[in-house]
Chain A
């Protein structure tokens, strides 16, 4: 994966599939409202889950929730609260698998949804890899946009910490 244009991370992939505006704001270091209650919940969940499992594993441009070894195989686990943002979670995990692959490490993925208590196997294929690379290219295009994409009302807005910023003065 060529990321010399803009260093794309797993977090970018995540937001790309949820809200392009949020992606743009993040890429321009415009952080959301620090007083928003949803941020605190996010922090709490993150602390809680990462303490229960092993420490996060840093692989250069992104953080992986957990890596474990099953037999001879490396399994990357991504833990999410719910499957509401399944597409985002799925591609985020693929992204990590792709990064490992480029380091010459073959790994499989597992997506865990704690609320539903479900588990899903994820593997890099030619097909989903192509989609992933397309997303990465697209993210780099977004990084260069001079103006953020306008807000669009989606379900996620209600819990989004950018909410007040996005909708201040919108009709």
Chain B
């Protein structure tokens, strides 16, 4: 499997013959084989030139940029290298047709709520005792699922989802049980406490990883079904992230906190009052996220083990099949 390159030190990234070449601020040099590189995440101040960008386009490599605070700033998405008119037509058709769009949007939301339930159930089963709160939330999520059928617009669906998510977040304090990481209330720009900082950082990684995978398919990332398209921003990755955030991000956060891999020392305060992961915290998070993405799970349909990253690709294939009219999309449901 090709690798994701994470750059957390400042420096210069260049093309050198047929490889990537990185010199950090202390003058340390490193060659990175381009054939082995899937995508690049940049979290630091990097100098780069158009020669490099040309090279990356040629090798079909996306670059995701995050600013000093770890906020996602944008993606260099080389002109799509895969292009099938038929798929784009079908994707647009599903977007423009109200009924088709609502149907697909509903599938994303129900997949998302099911994944939230799965996360809560995992911890409720581990606890055995004092799990009434978690079980209660699962019940409420079940009733949210039933309500989805009543939604007549995508906006209504989004409202149901928002409500379900609020309920889901109520379980976080119970799962974490650590005063350093109280949930309080969801705050995004900026995150106002440590847990929110972790969620924001994790979610933005999830969005960008999915974007990298979309690049390897025929789907157009600008046409989302749940998150409206305005043809300037990527939105399909946000839709697909609904399915993966609970297992990719939330489960990872619980693990990082509960195993004390990340503690209050890994955060800092931004001028605007926001709380953010510091450099070290960010690195730990990235390392653990990457190793999680490489973890393989048995895939009963393919009869082989596939990595989480590959699961994302398979999910995109399923969406493409839905759009082509082959098979209705059934979101991934983790079994544990």
A168 adjacent to B301 (CB under 8 Å): yes
The answer to whether A168 and B84 touch (CB under 8 A), given A34-B216, A35-B2, A147-B324, is no
Asked whether B83 lies within 8 Å of A29 as measured between CB atoms, the reply is yes
Interface residue B321 (Cβ < 8 Å from any Cβ of A): yes
Is B321 a contact of A168 with CB atoms below 8 Å? yes
Distance in angstroms from B271 CB to nearest chain A CB is 43
B314 lies within 8 A of A30 (CB): no
Q: Using Cβ atoms and an 8 Å threshold, which residues of chain B touch A168?
A: 301-302, 314-315, 317-318, 321
Contact B318 A30 (CB under 8 A): no
Nearest CB of A to B92, in Å: 16
Bound-complex Cα distance A30 to B314 (A): 15
Query: B253 → chain A, closest Cβ, in Å?
Result: 28
Chain A CB count within 10 A is highest, among B85, B324, B329, B330, for B324
- Known A-B contacts A150-B326, A169-B314; A28 and B216 likewise in contact (beta carbons under 8 Å): no
Tell me the B284-336 residues at the A interface (CB within 8 Å): 301-302, 310, 313-315, 317-318, 320-321, 324-327, 329-330
Asked if B86 contacts A29 (CB within 8 A), the reply is yes
Tell me if B87 is interfacial: C-beta within 8 Å of chain A: yes
Query: For residue A30, which residue of chain B has the nearest CB?
Result: B84
Number of interface residues of A (CB under 8 A): 19
Q: Would you call B22 an interface residue if the criterion is a C-beta within 8 Å of the partner chain's C-beta atoms?
A: no
Write the chain B residue with the least CB distance to A31: B82
Chain B residue numbers with a CB within 8 Å of A147 are 324-326
Q: How far is the CA of A148 from the CA of B87 in the complex (A)?
A: 12
A170 sits at the interface (CB 8 A): yes
Beta-carbon contact of A30 and B326 below 8 Å: no
B313 touches A169 (CB 8 A): no
Asked if B218 is an interface residue, CB under 8 A from chain A, the answer is yes
Q: Once the chains are docked, how many angstroms separate the CA of A163 from the CA of B83? A: 19
If A30-B87, A169-B330 touch, whether A146 touches B325 (CB-CB below 8 Å) is: yes
Shortest CB distance A94–B (Å)? 29
Collect the chain A residues with CB atoms within 8 Å of residue B326's CB.
Answer: 147-148, 150
Residues B301 and A171 in contact, CB atoms below 8 Å apart: yes
Q: Which residues of A contact B2 (CB under 8 A)?
A: 35
Please measure, in the bound complex, the distance between the C-alpha atom of A169 and the C-alpha atom of B314, giving whole angstroms. Answer: 8
CB distance from B326 to the nearest CB of A (A): 6
Q: Mark B65-87, 1 if CB is under 8 A from A, else 0.
A: 00000000000000000111111
- State how many angstroms separate the Cβ of A69 from the closest Cβ of chain B: 41
A156 CB-CB contact with B under 8 Å: no
CA distance A147 to B329 in the complex (A): 15
Q: How far is the CA of A159 from the CA of B326 in the complex (A)?
A: 22
Given A169-B318, A169-B321, 6 more pairs with CB closer than 8 A: A30-B86, A33-B216, A146-B325, A164-B302, A168-B301, A169-B329
The 4 A-B pairs at the shortest CB distance, nearest first, are namely A168-B314, A168-B317, A169-B318, A29-B84
